[in-house]
Structure 1
Amino acid sequence: MTVLLPPSETKREGGDTSRTLDLRALSFPELADERAAVITAARSVSSEESSARTALKLGPKSIAERFRNLELDTSGTMPAIERYTGVLYDPLGAQTADDSTRSWWFDHVVVQSAMFGPIGAGDPIPAYRLSHDSRLGNLRLASLWPAVSSRVLDERADGLVLDLRSEGYRQLGPVPGSVAPRVVSVDGSGRRRALNHWNKTAKGRLVALLARTGAVVVTMDELVDWAAANGVVVERSDSGWDLVAESLEPVTV
């Protein structure tokens, strides 16, 4: 099983300064050239406040984040699963998770980064500022990443690929045959509605529970069985698969 996650705009600061960025130490080292090209372009637009504001969509309170892109080679790193914060990642509790939980993430989770392409959950990365829709001059992320990302993700796929990425990041690395469940809320009458922002919380809780239980899942049927055994509702719908948010209570990992 491979679980695909989007990155997060918000990132934890700091990291291990004795281990700086090494593109070939990341998962999928064959993407080193593409990664270097994106880093070069990101540095270029980040070098001036005016260009960074437009290219990276930075406001007055976030403009200092441009400096992250100028310090990628020298700033400290930490595992990707710890670097990202926010609505999806906070439910993971990655900084306090036990070794077996972290090992599951490292083995099964891939994050679709705009800066680095697909990376493993345990890959050491610095803080950076770049989104799927950032503008990098003549370099278009939507042209650079999809083909190469799809290739390496397809080569890695072993059984079920559970795609929990947002649409913008899904487009940076389409995976034919993957399952992208819709996160829904069910009201008292049984009517379902798709969640937008808060669907990330449910996804984070799902990935936390998968890791905490050491889930062994190869097919969608096995995921449904695992879900039922753990009180999670995953069901077929007219559009594919639904994940019922209310069935995912906060978990401690």
Structure 2
Amino acid sequence: MLILLPPSEGKTPATGGDAADWTALSFPALNSARAKVLDALGTVSAHEDALALLRVGASLSADVERNTRLHAEPAAPAHQVYSGVLYDALGYSTLTAAQRKKADESVLVISALWGAIGFADRVPAYRLSMGTALPDVGRLASFWKPLLDDALAAATEGHLLVDCRSSTYAAAWAPPAERTVAVNVFTEAGGVRKVVSHFAKHTRGELARHLLSRRGKAPQTPAQLRQAAAEKWAAELVEGTARKPHTLNIILPS
């Protein structure tokens, strides 16, 4: 089982230590593409209209300025740098040592800057969304899609893929549909379901934590994933097709 996560919008910068060692990152075949994105990001971030080009507000000016020196910025494991609702709910720091090891081996983060990284990979904090277009790179989801198809094929072969990404990051890579389960979250009241956003992030984080911390073997099939989710929530599985992944619907009380 592998768990696919989006990065968080907010990131926690490392307070000290060495810069990222690119040769140590997972999926080294992506390094040339990572360098191209990093160079384009640095150029855009140094522009006088950087905030507008990156579609962020003035409160994030320090984050954008940091983009200009990412080669030298201190790095920390991805599970520390990424923060926010989903990652708080996953609660990596409160997992046991064995569970953290499992997380390091099982969680992949699909990233606008790095393409894909492992949970223990050391990276600096940065500001870049998958929905952004960069000079000489273009729309990042389109840029990464063929590269991730090649880079992740062998690493994900034979694994059940639990897809907890948002739609923006799901656009960057479509894993094999027969082995992928996308996670949706709804509230239900009076027989009427509503899609939720904030609680979807929280619940996906909780699901990731549950899968990493529960006893027994990790789910190997979509049906086993539904059974695991049903240990905590009302859950249903919608079968996929040759092109469309399965869907795990978690239904929260209103």
Work out the CA distance in 1 between the residues paired with 2:50 and 2:26: 28
Q: 1:150 matched to which residue of 2?
A: 149
CA separation of 1:154 and 1:232: change in aligned 2, threshold 3 A: farther
Gaps of 5+ in 1: 248-253
One-letter amino acid matched to 1:69: N
| 1:182 matches 2:184 | yes
Bigger strand fraction: 2
1:244 has 2:253 as partner: no
Deviation at 1:111, TM superposition (A): 0.4
TM-fit CA distance, 1:125:
0.6
Q: Distance in 2 between matches of 1:26 and 1:238?
A: 35
Helix, strand or coil at the partner of 1:246: strand
Q: Deviations over 1:139-197 (max 9, x none)?
A: 1113320011122222211321111111111111121312212211122x343222223
SS in 2 for 1:152: helix
**What TM-score, normalized to structure 1?**
0.88
Per-residue deviation, 1:234: 2.5
Distance 1:233 1:152 in 2: 35
The 2-side partners of 1:111 and 1:65 are apart by 20
Give the aligned partner of residue 123 of structure 1.
Answer: 121
Match of 2:80 among 71, 77, 82: 82
Who is 1:250 aligned against?
none
Residue 105 of structure 1 is matched in structure 2 by 103
Amino acid at match of 2:42: R
**TM-fit CA distance, 1:114:** 0.3
1:23-34 alignment to 2 at 5 Å?
23-34=22-33
AA partner of residue 226 (structure 1):
A
Amino acid of the structure 2 residue aligned with 1:206? L
Unaligned 5+ runs, structure 2: 241-245
**CA–CA distance in structure 1, aligned partners of residues 58 and 159 of structure 2:** 45
Which residue of structure 2 aligns with residue 167 of structure 1? 167
Partners of 2:134 and 2:54 in 1: how far apart?
A: 8
> Does the 8 Å contact 2:226/2:235 carry over to 1?
yes
The residue identity in structure 2 corresponding to 1:241 is: T
| Corresponding position of 2:193 | 192
Confirm or deny that 1:66 pairs with 2:58: no
Instruction: Work out the CA distance in 1 between the residues paired with 2:174 and 2:239.
Output: 22
One-letter identity of the residue aligned with 1:165:
R
Partners of 1:65 and 1:128 within 8 A in 2? yes
Query: Is contact 1:92–1:208 with CA below 8 Å preserved after alignment?
Result: yes
Contact 2:44 2:134 in 1 (8 A): yes
Distance 2:25 2:181 in 1: 25
- 3-state SS of 2:117 partner: strand
Match of 1:57 among 45, 52, 55: 55
Give the TM-score normalised by the residue count of structure 2.
0.88
In the TM superposition, residue 237 of structure 1 has moved relative to its aligned partner by: 4.1
Partners of 2:95 and 2:15 in 1: CA distance: 17
What is the alpha-carbon root mean square deviation over aligned residues? 2.0
User: How many residue pairs are counted as aligned between the two chains?
Assistant: 243
Secondary structure (helix, strand or coil) at the match of 2:207 reads helix
Residues 39-54 of structure 1 correspond to what in structure 2 (within 5 A)? 39-48=38-47, 50-54=48-52
Residue identity over aligned pairs, in percent, reads: 33
